[in-house]
Amino acid sequence: MRRHGRVGGKTITCDICGAKLSGEGAFLRHIKEHLIVSVRRNGMDVYYCLVCGQEFITKNSAITHLIKRHGLE
C-alpha cells in the first residue's frame, strides 16, 4: 500500500489519483478507498471489495472488512 505514495515534505501524494494527504495515517485511510467500488443497484448504493468481491451495504462496512479480513491497517 505504501508504495503507491510519494513523500514530499509533510505531504504524501497518491500515485493512483494525485490526492495530496497530510501524513501516513491519512494516506493509508485514503488508499483503502481505491479497493472499494460503489455500484448503484435498485436505487441503492452497494459497495464491493475489489480484493475478494464481497458485497456491503455501507462504505464503512467495506473498509472494516478490508482491515479485518485482508490485514490492511
pLDDT digits (tens, 9 = 90+) for 19-62: 888 888 888 888 888 889 999 999 999 999 998 999 999 989 99
Q: Supply the pLDDT for residue 1.
A: 45
**pTM to 2 decimals?**
0.64
The closest of 12, 50, 51 to 28, measured between CA atoms, is 12
User: DSSP strand E in the chain: where?
Assistant: 5-8, 11-14, 20-22, 36-41, 44-49, 55-56
* SS3 state of residue 16: coil
Q: Produce one character per residue of 46-68: b if its CB has 16 or more CB atoms within 10 Å, e if not.
A: ebbbeeeeeebeeeeebbebbee
